[in-house]
Amino acid sequence: MTALGSAFSRLWRLVSWPARVAEARREFAMLAKLDDRGLADIGLTRQDLRDATAFALSKPPSARLMERAREREALARAKRRPRPAVRSIAAE
């Protein structure tokens, strides 16, 4: 990337920052309107929303929230998966 392209990129990030923050706030407002059952349907909890507010608003919270929901789903799948029987070596 050229120096001019890099400078333009930094300028664009600076200029577009208010729009990114406004979008993040809209996402949070939409999610905050959901009840606990609605959040659970998409794999989230109220605590997930509170946790996501700890991060900078310049980055979209939806990516972090989707990651949290995927982690929770993977954990639930792992708990449902039957474990193979383990033979005890103590009896030998």
Compute the distance between CA of residue 24 and CA of residue 53 in angstroms, rounded to an integer.
10
Of 1-5, 33-37, 72-76, 84-88, the least confident: 84-88
Q: Please answer whether residues 39 and 31 qualify as being in contact, where contact means their C-beta atoms are separated by less than 8 angstroms.
A: yes
- For the entire predicted model, the pTM comes to 0.60
Over 70: is that where the pLDDT of 91 sits?
A: no
Q: What is the pLDDT of residue 88?
A: 66
pLDDT digits 0-9 by tens, 42-76: 889 999 888 888 876 656 778 888 888 899 899 88
